[in-house]
Amino acid sequence: MGSNGAERTITGWAARDSSGVLSPYTYTLRETGPEDVYIKVTCCGVCHTDVHQVKNDLGMSNYPMVPGHEVVGEVVEVGSEVTKFKVGDIVGAGCIVGSCKHCQPCKSDNEQYCNKKIWSYNDVYTDQKPTQGGFAEAMVVDQKFVVHIPEGMGAEQAAPLLCAGVTIYSPLKHFGLMQSGLKGAILGLGGVGHMGVKIAKAMGHHVTVVSSSEKKREEALDHLGADDYLVSSDADKMQEQFDSYDYIIDTIPVFHPLEPYLSLLKLDGKLILMGVINTPLQFVSPMVMLGRKCITGSFIGSMKETEEMLQFCKEKNLSSTIETVKMDYINTALERLEKNDVRYRFVVDVAGSKLT
């Protein structure tokens, strides 16, 4: 099916200002272009980044803003040059809906690092109109930035994988950390962190959850399957783990010292930063120099890695731990997410919600 040549008016839930409060908002979607896929949204995950964006925590927000970048839905129309998808396919769209397609990152399947990437919301598309996200009836997305959801994988389970899942999978692949027998630690047991435990365990790693209190010990060990649990304020236990980890995935989205965790890494160990933090982090250079350790970062993943990750999760029977809500609960969900009061990802049942 080709484009019908007309824009569509749809309803989503948008923030109007930095209060971050969402309410119904009517706007137009661009017509389905030759390489576009028109997606009727089934559900959408709620990420901590959504909180940052609607509240202008990073000082770059534009309103009205319809958030949501863990989108699963059904293809209802495809452009004349679309080859990857057909009407009726169940698909996903993540954080990015466009890139230049010509730079070195784009040509090497690292389009998430393109300097001209276009965010799924709070950005401007090539037609100079604002992009809006998945807390809405529908989206129009370039086929390059759409993925098939594996058959048999539930939409609500798949949604968080499009951000949280690939955010974990990508650095493990890129830094050569997919082989079994490695010892890794996950800092922070939220939406990304809980998938870190599940994916790393499925790769055959010994996984330790590091947290600031005992509160999540039972959850980490008994429910998520972590091998060990470490309280960062317990100096004796931290000392026992000195020089023992191949990698640490740091998902903490607020300021925190890095030095206690750098000491846990063995020679050539990697501290991989994933939390979006708008204040400078600090460490003393000998902590890195004396073990040839690496502090690095990673940002979501490529479309190719997203497809690989979804297949990996299907083969390993991995799922997200979620709480499904309707759209009229979204403001409460964002408040709870800000307080880390969710196990471990909210997913909005968009198709089953009254949006107007």
In which band, very low, low, confident or very high, does the pLDDT at 68 lie, cut at 50, 70 and 90? Answer: very high
At 254 the pLDDT is 87
In which band, very low, low, confident or very high, does the pLDDT at 278 lie, cut at 50, 70 and 90? Answer: confident
Average pLDDT over residues 251-278: 94
Give 314-324 pLDDT, tens digit per residue.
999 999 999 99
d(CA 238, CA 5): 62
Name the strand (E) or helix (H) holding 97.
strand 96-98
In which band, very low, low, confident or very high, does the pLDDT at 6 lie, cut at 50, 70 and 90? Answer: confident
CB 84 within 8 A of CB 78: no
At 253 the pLDDT is 84
Give 296-318 pLDDT, tens digit per residue.
999 999 999 999 999 999 999 99
In the predicted structure, residue 110 carries a pLDDT above the cut 90: yes
Residue whose pair of structure tokens reads 């047991």 in the numeric block: 189
Domains of the chain as residue ranges with CATH: 8-163+320-349 (3.90.180.10), 165-297 (3.40.50.720)
Average pLDDT over residues 223-250: 97
Average pLDDT over residues 83-91: 98
DSSP string, 260-277: HHHTTEEEEEEEEE-S--
DSSP string, 168-205: HHHHHHHTT--STT-EEEEE--SHHHHHHHHHHHHTT-
At 277 the pLDDT is 86
d(CA 354, CA 329): 11
In the predicted structure, residue 249 carries a pLDDT above the cut 50: yes
Average pLDDT over residues 25-44: 97
In the predicted structure, residue 3 carries a pLDDT above the cut 60: no
